[in-house]
Each structure stands twice: as C-alpha cells, then as structure tokens.
Amino acid sequence: MANPLYDGLFGIHAGKTTPFLHLVDGQVITYQDFLTTSAQIANVTAQLDLNPGDRVAVQVEKSHEALALYAACAQAGLVFLPLNTAYTVDELSYFIENSGASLIVCDGKSEAELSAVAEELGAQIKTLNADGSGTLMAQARTMPKSFSTVERQGEDLAAFLYTSGTTGRSKGAMLTQNNLLSNAQTLVKEWRFNADDVLLHALPIFHTHGLFVASNIMLAVGGSMIFVPKFDLDQIIDWMPKATSMMGVPTFYTRLLGDSRFTRELAEHMRLFVSGSAPLLAETHAQFEKRTGHRILERYGMTETNMNTSNPYDGERRAGTVGFALPGVELKITHPDTGETLPDGEVGQIEVRGPNVFKGYWQMPEKTAAELRENGFFITGDLGKIDEDGYVHIVGRNKDLIISGGYNIYPKEIELVLDDQPGVLESAVIGVPHPDFGETVLGIIVPENRVAPDVDATMEAVRQSLARFKHPRKLVILDELPRNTMGKVQKNILREQYKGMFAS
C-alpha cells in the first residue's frame, strides 16, 4: 500500500456520497465532501513547501474542517500534532518549539499571540475558526480537489501527542501509521462496528479518545458520526435517538444520569455505550444499567498505546474492571522493582506490548528507555492485577497523575508554577474525589516565614501559565508538608486528609 493510514481510513471512501458527518446545524458532510476538503488542505501544505515528516501543530475548535486537516496530514505524509484548545500560549510555545513544527494552525483569536511564537521559531501560521473561516480554508478553497497521496510506510510517524511527565516536562509520544490503523481495525471487530453505525461524538478531537478511537473507528468502517462540538446535555439528549452508539469519559455518563430526560426509552435503541480515559465507578455502571438496561463497556488505553484492553462485547462486562487484553496486545503485571512477571491476583505495574505501542518520545531517548523496554514492553505507570477470570483491574497509579473529567494533569507541572510564586516556600498538588470530574485538583502551599502568601496573586500566576482544567479548584495553606523518613512528601496522607473537600 502506498500510504497505509490514508488508504485504510480515508482513501477507501473515495467517491462515496453517503453521510460521514451530521453537524448539529443540520448540515451533512458526505465522505466525498470530506475527502475533497482534505485534498484541498493537503494542496495548501504542498504550496507551503511542507515535506513528509514535518510536524503540523494544530490548536483549533472541533469542526469538520479540523478533522479534514487530520486527513490532509495523513495524505501528505505530515505528522499531525493536535493540541488542547485550553492550552495557554506558554504551554503552546513549548509544544511548538519542542516538536519543531513547520506549520501552526490556530484559531483566529490566538493568531496575534502565536504569530510572535511562530516568527521566533521559524514556523508558518494559518488560521482555522470554528465556523471554517480563516486563512487555511480561504486558501484551500482555491486549490485542486484532488491530491496525489504521498507514499508512506506503516512505520512512518503519523502523529505526535504530548503527554506530561512526572518531571513536569511534556513528552511528544510518536505514533506511527501502523499504531493508529491496527488499533482502529481491532476495535471495529471487538465492538462490532459496521457501516450502519451512527456514533454520537461529543469528545474533543485533540486527544486519543475522540480522534484515534472514535473517529478512526468510524472511518475504518465507513459509518457516520453526529459531530457535537462539545459535550452539551441538551444536544446529546436531542441527538441520541438518531445514534446507535456513543463513546465518553465517565463524566459524560454521570452527567447523563443526573438528567431526568435521560430515560430507558431515550437509550432503548442504542447498541453500545463505551467508557474510558478514567475509571468508571462500579456505582455509575450499576446506576446506568438500572436506568437504561445497558451495561457500559469499559476499556483502557493510553496516549502512548491507544487501546490496550476492553471488556467483552459478548460476555460479561464486569464493572470495576477494564476487561481483557485486545487481540494482538500482550499484557502482564510485573514487580515494580525487579520487572519480574507476577502471578495472577497480585498487584503490580501493568506492561503492554503490541502493534499499538508507540515508537518512543520525540528527542527524549532517556525517557523512552526508562518506559519502553528493549523487548517492546511499555511500562504504563498504572498498577493493576488480573483476576481469576482473566479480567484486568486497575487499582492505582505508580505515577503522580490526576485525571479530571478525562483530562490528565501532572501535579509537578502545577507545583513548579506554585513554587515560583512570592511567599511560597513549597507546594504539593494532589487529586481529590469530585462528583462531576471524578477527581479534581487541590493545591497545598507552605508559606515562607509562616506569612500567608497572596492567594489571589498566586492563582493569577497559575491562570497565566496553565490551562484552566489544570487550575487548583482550591489552595490550602499548611505550615509544613508531611514527609517520610527519606524526606519524600507523603501525598497519600494529604489525599486522605482532604478527600472529603469536594464530596457531593
């Protein structure tokens, strides 16, 4: 094949006039419309002199043109680098510089600030707004409607997704064409998707879940998606009768359960509800079944690996577990110190190997070597066990990570900002239970000389540098942090102490 990812997900639909995207304003984008737009965008990248392997950093609202930009990158052999729309200019500058992006595509609202960054780093810049306006599409519309697909191999890079680290520096996870394509094809089979499926798509398209799981699956199978710009209960409830399936983070399901319009009748015709990105409480699973008669199918994945495990489509979907390793994926539980495989039932670190596992972190060989073993097993940083029936349970994390509403937050990144503020001696950031987001961020600061620092000014500094979803929902002042004999901050004690802070 000339370009496995493009051919396997997009090229196969050439000439099809069946719907691909149903937009909430009633517009329908057929497969051929979509491919025409993506070919026109690919022609723009050629005119900008981009070469295969160049990175395209994209921070735009969800739209059909934004998805077509992903297809265009695949067709032109470019590396697609989607970025959370909540990121601040500080955060973006790092990603753009670290990836060496040749082209930045951003919303018109960010153009002025990002132009300065682009100029400094020698990148070109185009705009794409939520309604499709902006300089990218203005140029694309003048371009030929077909593009000669650039030849690529399965091992060539298709995307970078940045994932933060325990040191506070984000790492660019390099995903190959094969990583993405093989996982989508596996999931199509496992979850029984077919061309008649209509997926209710309310996830953002800048992360694995909304882009490489939801969108790639529907592309692989030739189905359609109801493309909702963001999770909005009214729109979800309005559109659900037209869908067959939905994918979401646990917050989607708890919010639906909190709305009396979400009834058994509304969900009756649905074929499948999938949950992932964060733990689904067994209680939510049970409530959902009671309300709708459907058992949510929970699966487990990571940016670096796409999807690793899934509960069975047929067979028992066991609450509180993430099911079994997907076909082609090997999963083992190992001792965190020795790396030896542990017997079933024992808790250890989860390691995975398979065609889904990424190639490494961009320009970070030491970090790659620390997490991706030479034998191909990736150390996930999640702690788990395999029960007597083979179901995988995630029981904790061997990494300092908070997952809020499906977004990952690395405390170190916030602590670095807090520690820098006047009057702050040191800080600890922890995740505590939250009824809507699952977990939320709590910041604990220790003042210098026991004089309380200016909390408002400290929060303002956080706002300047970090995306909203990372902001501590509260800052608590403590005289000192609990430490063990080695001097390490005992976050478990703090988590226990503050666990009720946001309880419902």
Binding site residues, ligand AMP, CB under 6 A: 163, 276-279, 298, 300-303, 322, 380, 382, 394, 397, 403, 408
| Shortest distance, position 307 Cβ to ligand AMP, whole Å | 9
Judged by phi (left if over 0) then psi (alpha if -120 to 50, else beta), residue 53 lies in left
Please name which of 72, 60, 79 lies closest in space to residue 9, comparing C-alpha atoms.
72
Site for ligand MCA in 426-445 (CB under 6 A): 437
* Residues contacting 205, CB < 8 A, separation 6+: 62, 66, 67, 70, 82, 211, 215
Binding mask 276-315 for ligand MCA (x = CB under 6 A): xx-----------------------xxx------------
Within 10 angstroms of residue 5's Cβ, the number of other Cβ atoms is 27
What is the distance between the alpha carbons of residues 275 and 301, in angstroms, rounded to a whole number?
A: 11
Q: Which is nearer to ligand MCA, 231 or 262 (CB)?
A: 231
Termini Cα distance of the chain: 54
Please name which of 177, 100, 214 lies closest in space to residue 359, comparing C-alpha atoms.
177
Q: Which does 279 bind (CB under 5 to 8 A by kind): ligand MCA, ligand AMP, none?
A: ligand AMP
Give the length of the chain: 504
Helix (H) / strand (E) containing 56: strand 55-59
| Shortest distance, position 442 Cβ to ligand MCA, whole Å | 12
What is the distance between the alpha carbons of residues 136 and 45, in angstroms, rounded to a whole number?
A: 10
Near ligand MCA by CB under 6 A: residue from 98, 186, 311, 404? 404
Q: Which does 45 bind (CB under 5 to 8 A by kind): ligand MCA, ligand AMP, none?
A: none
Q: Answer yes or no whether residue 405 interacts with ligand MCA by CB under 6 A.
A: yes
Q: Answer yes or no whether residue 407 interacts with ligand MCA by CB under 6 A.
A: yes
Decide: residue 10, CB within 10 A, 0-12 exposed, 13-18 middle, 19+ buried.
buried
Q: Answer yes or no whether residue 172 interacts with ligand MCA by CB under 6 A.
A: no
| Shortest distance, position 312 Cβ to ligand AMP, whole Å | 15
Q: Which is nearer to ligand AMP, 197 or 439 (CB)?
A: 439
List residues bridging with 432 in a β-sheet. 440
What is the distance between the alpha carbons of residues 37 and 67, in angstroms, rounded to a whole number?
A: 10
Q: Which is nearer to ligand MCA, 22 or 209 (CB)?
A: 209
Q: Which does 394 bind (CB under 5 to 8 A by kind): ligand AMP, ligand MCA, none?
A: ligand AMP
Q: Answer yes or no whether residue 82 interacts with ligand MCA by CB under 6 A.
A: no
- Lookup: tokens for 493: 């004690």
Q: Which does 11 bind (CB under 5 to 8 A by kind): ligand AMP, ligand MCA, none?
A: none
Q: Which does 468 bind (CB under 5 to 8 A by kind): ligand MCA, ligand AMP, none?
A: ligand MCA
